[in-house]
Every structure is written in structure tokens, then in C-alpha cells.
């Protein structure tokens, strides 16, 4: 292992190959090299030197990611300091990206406080979205109330992406927001989470939504129906699918037919049967396929 000084000299070298050899061997260095690499990345006049410093940080972090270790914990501390310090925003953004790979639950509070930052909120959300465990979900849920309205959909998207069941109540609440973007983002998150709320859910009214958001609204209902079906809540799933069967859009009817067929009961067959005579070819073929699939399944069971 080269000395810290030699390593940093190599990273700053004018010689491309010397820099390359240094950053490729960065895994051998201690984690306390990170602040120095951050300084080089922030101040180097040569883009090649700045790249070498960034790549060295990336290489070091990637070498620590497989499992927890004291060196990894130290790297996380150094990266948190870099992310929270006075470095240029792009470099702090890189620190958040690297933290997203190795930071654990104990780092969540230090990361979450940046969710309200105008320039780094996006990177903090990205980072929390990737950190496993309940702490990140709790932090995102708590932050929902503190961030600007314009950033609330981003927080809801993160919670939906995490399929965070504990975030379902806040989604149900946000679905009632008079802000259409928030209400729809909440519906999308709630559908992705897919857990039926104990309190009454009022899905946003699609009527005043622009065309694109109407499609997202319908997709959310279908996703939620699919999730309910997979949870074994066939009654709720069937109710939503039947609602979709009455829509004029052929692809929504198709999605309902496909979902209903997967329920596979007599009631499901009865719901699909009329669609075999649909005037729309896509719907008709989808219904035929669904019907035949149910028939094969019934025959196999018999």
C-alpha cells in the first residue's frame, strides 16, 4: 500500500497512467483519504485530476459495499462530512450518491436533514430511497410535512417506490390534498404500496385532471387492484376491475380482463364472458386468451 502522501501525489500527477494506476488501487487506502480526495476533486484545474479523485472515492466505496466493516463505517462518516460541508454542490451530490451505496440506518438522520435543501433535496431523497430499513422510510414520512408543496410528490414517489406499508396513512391523507399534483402522487404511491388502509380512502376525482394524469390515475387503480388480488382480497380487486370494465378505453378493459382472469372464479368468468363479444379487436382477443387460460386452469385442477 502506498503512503497517503504518495497516493495523493499520484492522483494529482500530470501523467494519465500514474493517476489511473492510483485510482484503480484506491481500495487499499484508508477511509480518511476521502476529505483529501474531495478537496482535489473540488479544486483541481485539470479535469483529469478531478476525475481521478472522484474515481478514487468511487473505487474505495465500491470495495467496502459488500458487507459492514469498521472501515466502511469510517468511510460513511467521511462522506457525511463531505456531503454536509462547503464543497461545491456537484461534489456534495456525489457524496450522497456514494452514501446511497454504503450508508446504514444510523446515517439516516444526518442525510434526512438535507431533504429541505433547495439544491440537495433531490440527492438526499435519492440516497434515502436506497438505504434499506425502516429508518429511511420513517425519515421520508416525517419529512413529508416539512418540505415545500413542490417537493411533496418527490417524497411520496420515494415512499411508493419503497412499497412502505407504514406510509399508507400519509398517502391516504395526501390523496385529499387540494393540490392535484400532491393528490395524484399520493394515489400513485398508495397503489404501489398496495396495502388497504384501515381508514376510508378517497381517491382523487379524475374528472378535472389533465389527460395524462387521468391515465396515471387509472393505472394507479389497476395497480391497487392487482395488489389486492395478490393479497387475496378478491372482493376489493373485483370491484375495481369491474369499474375498469365500464371504461371506454380498450386498454383499461383489457387490463381489467387480465386481472379478473387471474382471480379465476366463477364470478370472474361471468365478468369476462360479455367481453368475448366486444367490438374492439384488442379487447376481444384479450378476453379470448383470458377465457382459454381460465379453461386450461380449470381443466388442470379437475
Partner 1 sequence: MSSRRKFLQTGVSAGVFLFDIVPARALGLQSQPAPSDTINLGHIGIGGRGRQFLRPEASLGQKIPAPLNLGGDGTRMQTAARSVALCDIDAQRLDEAATRVGGRPKTYRDFRRLLEDKDVDAVVIGSPDHWHALMTIMACQAGKDVYVEKPACNTIEEGRAMVNTAGRYGSVVQIGSQGRSQPAAYHAASYIRNGQLGRVSQVLCWHYASPQGDWTPDAEPPSGLDYDMWVGPARWLPYNARRTHGAFRWMIDFGGGQIRDRGAHVMSIANWIMDCDHTGPVSIDASGDPPSDGMYDSAVTMRVVYEFKNPDWTLVWAQPGEPSAEIEARYGAVYHGDKGRLTVTLGDGQNTATDQKVKDYRAPIDGVPVYRSPGHIEDFLDCIKTRAKPIMHMEAGHRVASLCILGNLSFQLRRKLEWDPVAERFKNDEEANRLLSRPGRGPWHL
| 257-296 residues near partner 1, rule: CB under 8 A | 257-259, 265-267, 269-270, 273, 276-277, 281-282, 284-289, 291-292, 294-295
Contact 17, 23 (CB under 8 A): no
What is the CA 228 to chain-centroid distance, rounded?
21
Task: Tell me the window of 29-37, 73-81, 171-179, 253-261 that interacts with partner 1 (CB under 8 A).
Answer: 253-261
Q: Please, what is the Cα angle at 283 between 273 and 264, to 5 degrees?
A: 45
CA distance 115 to 143: 7
Joined grid coordinates for residue 45 = 484545474
Least CB distance to partner 1 at residue 235 (A)? 14
Torsion angle (degrees, nearest 10) of CA 114, 118, 124, 125: 120
Cα distances (angstroms) measured from residue 3 to each of 40, 44, 182 = 17, 21, 53
Sole binder of partner 1 in the list 67, 70, 208, 300 (CB under 8 A): 67
Interaction residues for partner 1, span 83-122 (CB under 8 A) = 93, 97, 100-102, 122
CA distance 24 to 170: 45
CA distance 179 to 236: 27
Least CB distance to partner 1 at residue 198 (A)? 26
Interaction residues for partner 1, span 162-201 (CB under 8 A) = none
Sole binder of partner 1 in the list 157, 177, 196, 206 (CB under 8 A): 157
Least CB distance to partner 1 at residue 37 (A)? 17
Sole binder of partner 1 in the list 1, 6, 65, 69 (CB under 8 A): 65
Sole binder of partner 1 in the list 12, 39, 51, 71 (CB under 8 A): 51
74 vs 219 by CB, closer to partner 1: 219
199 vs 299 by CB, closer to partner 1: 299
Least CB distance to partner 1 at residue 107 (A)? 13
Place of cell 444526518: 110
Least CB distance to partner 1 at residue 61 (A)? 8
Burial class (CB in 10 A: 0-12, 13-18, 19+), 2: middle
Burial 189-212 (b: 16+ CB within 10 A, else e): bbbbbbbeeeeeeebbebeebeee
Q: How many CA atoms does the CB half-sphere of 14 hold within 13 Å?
A: 0
Closest CA to 229 of 190, 263, 273, 192: 263
Per-residue contact flags (x/-) with partner 1 for residues 206 to 235, judged by CB under 8 A: -----xx--xx-xx--xx--x---------
Least CB distance to partner 1 at residue 222 (A)? 6
Per-residue contact flags (x/-) with partner 1 for residues 130 to 149, judged by CB under 8 A: x-x-----------------
Closest CA to 131 of 156, 87, 177, 162: 162
Least CB distance to partner 1 at residue 98 (A)? 10
Closest CA to 201 of 156, 168, 247: 168
86 vs 281 by CB, closer to partner 1: 281
Least CB distance to partner 1 at residue 200 (A)? 26
8 vs 189 by CB, closer to partner 1: 189
Q: Does 39 contact partner 1 by CB under 8 A?
A: no
Amino acid at each position: 500500500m502506498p503512503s497517503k502522501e504518495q497516493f495523493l501525489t499520484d492522483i494529482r500527477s500530470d501523467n494519465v497512467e500514474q493517476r489511473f494506476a492510483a485510482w484503480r488501487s484506491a481500495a487499499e487506502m484508508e477511509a480518511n483519504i476521502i476529505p483529501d480526495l474531495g478537496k482535489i476533486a473540488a479544486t483541481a484545474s485539470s479535469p483529469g485530476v478531478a476525475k481521478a479523485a472522484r474515481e478514487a472515492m468511487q473505487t474505495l466505496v465500491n470495495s467496502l459495499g459488500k458487507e459492514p466493516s469498521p472501515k466502511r463505517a469510517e468511510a460513511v462518516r467521511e462522506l457525511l462530512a463531505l456531503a454536509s460541508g462547503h464543497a461545491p454542490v456537484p461534489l456534495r451530490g456525489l457524496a450522497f450518491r456514494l452514501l446511497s451505496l454504503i450508508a446504514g440506518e444510523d446515517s439516516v438522520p444526518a442525510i434526512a436533514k438535507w431533504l429541505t435543501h433547495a439544491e440537495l433535496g433531490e440527492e438526499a431523497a435519492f440516497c434515502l430511497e436506497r438505504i434499506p430499513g425502516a429508518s429511511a422510510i420513517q425519515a421520508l414520512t416525517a419529512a413529508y410535512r416539512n418540505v415545500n408543496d413542490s417537493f411533496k410528490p418527490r417524497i411520496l414517489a420515494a415512499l411508493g417506490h419503497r412499497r412502505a406499508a407504514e406510509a399508507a396513512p400519509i398517502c391516504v391523507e395526501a390523496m385529499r390534498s387540494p393540490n392535484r399534483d400532491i393528490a395524484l402522487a399520493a394515489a400513485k404511491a398508495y397503489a404501489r404500496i398496495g396495502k388497504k388502509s384501515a381508514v376510508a380512502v378517497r381517491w382523487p376525482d379524475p374528472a378535472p385532471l389533465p389527460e395524462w394524469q387521468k391515465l396515471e390515475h387509472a393505472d394507479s387503480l389497476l395497480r391497487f387492484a392487482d395488489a389486492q388480488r395478490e393479497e387475496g382480497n378478491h372482493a376489493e380487486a373485483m370491484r375495481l376491475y369491474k369499474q375498469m370494465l365500464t371504461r371506454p378505453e380498450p386498454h383499461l378493459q383489457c387490463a381489467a380482463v387480465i386481472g379478473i382472469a387471474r382471480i379465476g372464479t366463477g364470478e370472474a368468468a361471468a365478468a369476462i364472458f360479455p367481453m368475448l363479444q366486444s367490438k374492439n379487436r384488442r379487447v376481444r382477443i384479450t378476453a379470448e386468451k383470458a377465457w382459454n387460460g381460465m379453461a386450461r386452469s380449470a381443466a388442470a385442477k379437475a
